[in-house]
A = this chain, B = another copy of it.
Amino acid sequence: MTTTEDHAPSARAVTIQDVARLAGVSTATVSRALALPDRVTEATREAVLSAIRETGYTPNAAARSLRAKSTRMVLVLLPGIGNSFFTPVLNALEEVFSDQGYGVLVGYTRQSRRRETHYARVIRAGQVDGVLVVTGNVPRDEEFVAVPDQVPISLMFAGIPGGDRFSVFDVDNRAAAATMVGHMIAAGHRRIAHITGPEGSIETNERFGGYCDALTAAGLAVEESLVWRGAGNFDFVSGDRAAARYFALDDRPTAVFAAADEIALGFIRSLKTGGVSVPRDVSVGGFDDTEYAVHYDPALTTMRQPRTEMGRLAAEDLLLRMSGKGGVKPPTHVRLPCELVLRESIRRL
């Protein structure tokens, strides 16, 4: 192999200077021809454009950012537990933002303070014009305290109670959970267990609250032995662990509400391995309606969260708040409806 790389150092990148020289105008005119085409004569615009084509000029992003005090980039903060819930969200975000010429920087916080500090610094360094937090928790880091004053921030899927500094895009987790459990009750179930999400997350608390609400409304007691807590994250493993608790029980529930689809899927799979069949022996409901829910056997009955729509709306709101056009847009709270998707994993008793 004879190739020797010759990046950066090699051919000096073409600058606005080169274009100006070639077109026989000043750099200011080149800049104008690009940004405000109707403020230059057609002749000069043509000359500039042709010089640009000839040189292959692309404006330097750093110089532009430095001058314009805007990077046209947003930071999307994800938990990074690598579950597939976020795939369509990120997809929708990237679509809207890139269409508007914004870049999407992704950051995985992984529940690590160090990483949160890292990304707080990214924001404070002026590297992004806005932030989308898709983690369920606003980073606790003190460095984050000052951050909302610097750039607009939005929270997705779980809002901070009382925070009017952020736009919030979420669902009514509590009501949605109550609907699911209410559906189980309507199907004749009386002993209903709940596999919670990770300890301390807002969604976990809300969905547990909804579970209690539905039980209470039906005159049913919340039994501690049927609330399977601290199983882990919103993932398969949590479902596996919950299955162990199911098997350990003498008086088993006839239905189980899992706080997320992946938990439900892991649970069902472990039950099968133990010879228990869903929904024949026990009914299972999930939450989210991720891609795999419908393809599973049994197809999972679950609460659909409108992830793509949420992503789109959140992106559009942030775009508006970043642009500052038409006065500064105040943060909003948008609550989208969930939908109970009936499939095969819950049966009538």
Contact surface of A with B, Cβ cutoff 8 Å: 1, 3-8, 10-11, 13, 56, 58-63, 65-66, 69, 71, 73, 80, 82-84, 87-88, 90-91, 94-95, 98, 103-108, 110, 115, 118, 121-122, 124-127, 146, 149-152, 164-165, 236, 265-266, 269, 272, 291-292, 295-297, 321, 324, 328-331
Q: Is the CB of B296 within 8 A of A150?
A: no
Q: Is the CB of B3 within 8 A of A56?
A: no
> Distance (Å) between the CB of A215 and the closest chain B CB?
29
Given contacts A297-B297, A324-B7, contact A107 B118 (CB under 8 A): no
B-chain residues with CB within 8 Å of residue A118 when the two chains form the complex: 98
Of the listed residues A62, A63, A165, A330, the one surrounded by the most CB atoms of chain B closer than 10 A to its CB is A62
- Docked Cα-Cα span, A152 to B94, in Å, equals 23
B-chain residues with CB within 8 Å of residue A91 when the two chains form the complex: 80, 82, 108
- Docked Cα-Cα span, A95 to B108, in Å, equals 8
Q: Is the interface of A mostly helix, strand, loop or mixed?
A: loop
Of the listed residues A7, A66, A266, the one surrounded by the most CB atoms of chain B closer than 10 A to its CB is A7
Residue from the list B121, B149, B265 in contact with A7, Cβ < 8 A? B149
B-chain residues with CB within 8 Å of residue A62 when the two chains form the complex: 62-63, 65-66, 71, 126-127
B-chain residues with CB within 8 Å of residue A104 when the two chains form the complex: 105-107
Given contacts A103-B105, A106-B90, A297-B297, contact A5 B80 (CB under 8 A): no
Residue from the list B11, B65, B90 in contact with A149, Cβ < 8 A? B11
- Docked Cα-Cα span, A66 to B11, in Å, equals 17
Q: Is the CB of B3 within 8 A of A165?
A: yes
B-chain residues with CB within 8 Å of residue A296 when the two chains form the complex: 269, 296-297
- Docked Cα-Cα span, A163 to B316, in Å, equals 40
> Distance (Å) between the CB of A112 and the closest chain B CB?
10
Q: Is the CB of A328 within 8 A of B4?
A: yes
- Docked Cα-Cα span, A320 to B125, in Å, equals 25
B-chain residues with CB within 8 Å of residue A151 when the two chains form the complex: 7-8
Given contacts A66-B66, A106-B104, A328-B5, contact A295 B321 (CB under 8 A): no
> Distance (Å) between the CB of A30 and the closest chain B CB?
15
Please give me the residue from chain B that is nearest to A163 by CB atom. Answer: B3
B-chain residues with CB within 8 Å of residue A107 when the two chains form the complex: 94, 98, 103-104
Please give me the residue from chain B that is nearest to A265 by CB atom. Answer: B295
